[in-house]
């Protein structure tokens, strides 16, 4: 009986992890292609003049996170509350 309770408790605890959401995996200076492989970002803006691209990630339990790439390298990271907060950041 104790084993069933422990197994049930373990299953409940492990299943809760699925609802928490996942933090983006990144390091400053990482390549844009590596970032896209490890995360599911959405391209929200691109400036062809200086090669800047902005990606965002969002999970239900976290705020929006914005990642700024220049010349295919991650150069900046910002957090926001709204989907269009990246427009107020200077880059």
pLDDT of residue 22: 63
CATH code that applies to domain 24-88? 3.30.1450.10
| Percent of the chain residues past pLDDT 90, beyond the cut | 7
| Percent of the chain residues past pLDDT 70, beyond the cut | 82
pLDDT of residue 46: 76
Residue 91 CA to residue 78 CA, distance in Å, equals 11
- The domain locations on the chain are 24-88
For residues 72-85, give the mean pLDDT. Answer: 87
Among the listed residues 28, 74, 82, 79, the one whose alpha carbon sits nearest the alpha carbon of residue 52: 74
Sequence-distant contacts of 37-44: CB under 8 A, at least 24 apart? 41/67, 44/83, 44/86
In tens, the pLDDT along 36-50 reads 888 888 888 777 677
pLDDT of residue 17: 52
């Amino acid at each position: 009986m104790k084993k069933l309770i422990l197994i049930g408790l373990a299953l409940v605890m492990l299943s809760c992890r699925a609802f928490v959401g996942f933090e983006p995996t990144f390091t400053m200076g990482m390549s844009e292609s590596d970032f896209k492989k490890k995360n599911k970002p959405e391209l929200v803006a691109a400036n062809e003049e200086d090669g800047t691209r902005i990606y965002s990630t969002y999970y239900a339990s976290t705020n929006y996170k914005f990642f700024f790439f220049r010349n295919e390298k991650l150069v900046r990271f910002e957090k926001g509350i709204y989907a269009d907060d990246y427009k107020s950041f200077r880059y």
